[in-house]
Amino acid sequence: MDQTYMKTKKILPLVMSMAVPMVLSMLINALYNIVDSFFIAKISEDAMTAISLVFPLQNIAAAVSIGFGVGANAVTAFFLGEENQKKADGAASLSLLLSIAHSVVLTALLFAAAVPFLRSFTENREILTYGIQYARIVFGFLFVGQIGLIYEKLFQAIGRVRITMFSMIAGCVTNIILDPIMIFGLGPCPAMGIHGAATATVIGQAVSLACYLIAQAKGLLCLHLSLAEGWRCRRLAGRLYGIGIPAVLNQALPSLLITVLNSILAAFSQTDILILGVYYKLQTFIYLTANGIVQGIRPLVAYNYGAGLMGRVRGIFRTALGSAFLVMVLGTALCLLIPQNLISMFSSNGDTISAGASALRIICAGFMVSAVSVVVCGTLEGLGFGGMSFVISLLRYVAVILPAAWILSRIFGVAGVWHAFWIAEALTAAAAAALYRSVVRKIDAARPANPQ
């Protein structure tokens, strides 16, 4: 397959052709998250709270696969931009080999950590039982999602985003259909409760992986994958991890954030923990959509950087930033206009709905400015500056928001935790803009680029 269109096609149509399929995929994925939580909430509020507590561990597993996939995506696309097919094949093969190894290690670690982790946040037997049951299934089949995600990033690297879109949608739709059937028992399927929710998740991931494997078998991957070749190219591991490890940490930081915030909120009530969990489900619609734009541009940035076309890299960045900003405007409007409707999808308790609506109105103040941090992070990863991207995420998820949440909660109560979100977004956006300008100037000084 010829990828030269990545450096010749007009920037706006190019970005849209790569980003729109990924945005649609992310929207369907966000819909799955909402629907999944909606049906789990129908079991009980305890079940929803249990899933909120398991979420940080799930996010760690996703962080490893997505973050390392970012490294595979950027390195593979860079070599394709250099027109070095052999190294692109080697990087892709090594990525698959390492992804298999990651899944084995993570499965063992998460199985060992699940019970003590849950017990550190609650003594409620019902919540513990739900959480343990859910965790054992999703972590037991962790390898399915891990391998599926590395294929997702490799198909993105070669520009086959429609295959990625189809595979992701197929898995999410399968999950959405199976959720009510397996949770409540429809037709010949018995009611499985929380077990059904976890099983539906695993089956959905398996469907996505099957789609990728079928596409590969039909020769649509355009990369030769071989575990033996991956081992022979193990020297590329440093380059993959150089981008992948900061990206993994970027993805994992929300887990640290939620874990610490849960500890702060536990001093107020279990309801506030539930509200935080509901917020993170709702914000997936907004941030996964923006992330779809970033996923679309990352291989374009890497490819054009490899081809020495920094002028196009800047144009791609500006186009993505404008698109992400529009997404955040929409998200802000929804949270200001219909917050009660959003929260009521997950709880029928009037006090929970009222408190959750107040939280959404405060938190959404940081949505629009956060577009800067989100797009800068993805662009820096495409340029190979994963460490800089990690610095931005560290500011956004740890260095600013956690101290602010702790201090403000002592002054303003639980509302102080919600105010810490927009404060962190504003300060991080300013730092991200400065880092982006610094990196681009450094690249220009070291390697005069074709201004095209």
> What does the pLDDT look like over 245-281, one tens digit per residue?
877 777 778 778 888 998 899 888 888 888 998 888 7
Query: Residue 8 above 50 pLDDT?
Result: yes
**Listed residue (63, 61, 439) closest to 250, CA to CA:** 63
Report the alpha-carbon distance of residue 295 to residue 70 in Å, rounded.
Answer: 9
Query: Cβ contacts of residue 345 below 8 Å, gap of 6+?
Result: 34, 38, 41
- What percentage of the chain carries pLDDT values higher than 70? 98
Report the alpha-carbon distance of residue 180 to residue 141 in Å, rounded.
Answer: 21
Q: Is 299 within 8 Å of 440 (Cβ atoms)?
A: no
Q: What's the confidence (pLDDT) of residue 389?
A: 85
Q: What's the confidence (pLDDT) of residue 285?
A: 78
Please state the rounded mean pLDDT for residues 350-378: 93
- Going by pLDDT thresholds of 50, 70 and 90, the confidence category of residue 333 is very high
Query: Residue 204 above 80 pLDDT?
Result: yes
Q: What's the confidence (pLDDT) of residue 451?
A: 47
Domain boundaries, the chain: 5-446
More confident residue, 345 or 380: 380
Q: Which amino acid is at 264?
A: I
> What does the pLDDT look like over 408-432, one tens digit per residue?
999 999 999 999 999 999 999 999 9
More confident residue, 69 or 192: 192
> What does the pLDDT look like over 150-189, one tens digit per residue?
998 899 888 788 898 899 889 988 988 999 999 998 888 8
Query: Residue 433 above 90 pLDDT?
Result: yes
- Give the lowest-confidence range in 61-70, 185-194, 361-370, 395-404: 61-70
Mean residue pLDDT across the chain:
87
- Going by pLDDT thresholds of 50, 70 and 90, the confidence category of residue 2 is low
Q: Residue 228, class by beta-carbon neighbours within 10 Å (0-12 exposed, 13-18 middle, 19+ buried)?
A: exposed
Q: What's the confidence (pLDDT) of residue 187?
A: 81
What pTM was estimated for this model as a whole?
Answer: 0.70
Please state the rounded mean pLDDT for residues 320-335: 94
Q: What's the confidence (pLDDT) of residue 32?
A: 72
Q: Is 252 within 8 Å of 60 (Cβ atoms)?
A: yes
Please state the rounded mean pLDDT for residues 427-451: 84
Q: What's the confidence (pLDDT) of residue 323?
A: 92
Q: What's the confidence (pLDDT) of residue 202?
A: 92
**Listed residue (415, 425, 424, 423) closest to 357, CA to CA:** 415
Long-range contact list for 213-221, CB < 8 A, 24+ apart? 213/151, 215/155, 215/160, 215/163, 215/167, 216/151, 220/160, 220/163, 221/154, 221/155, 221/158, 221/160
> What does the pLDDT look like over 271-327, one tens digit per residue?
888 899 888 878 877 887 888 888 888 888 888 888 788 889 899 999 999 999 999
Q: What's the confidence (pLDDT) of residue 65?
A: 83
More confident residue, 122 or 402: 402
Q: What's the confidence (pLDDT) of residue 59?
A: 77
**Listed residue (253, 292, 279, 264) closest to 396, CA to CA:** 253
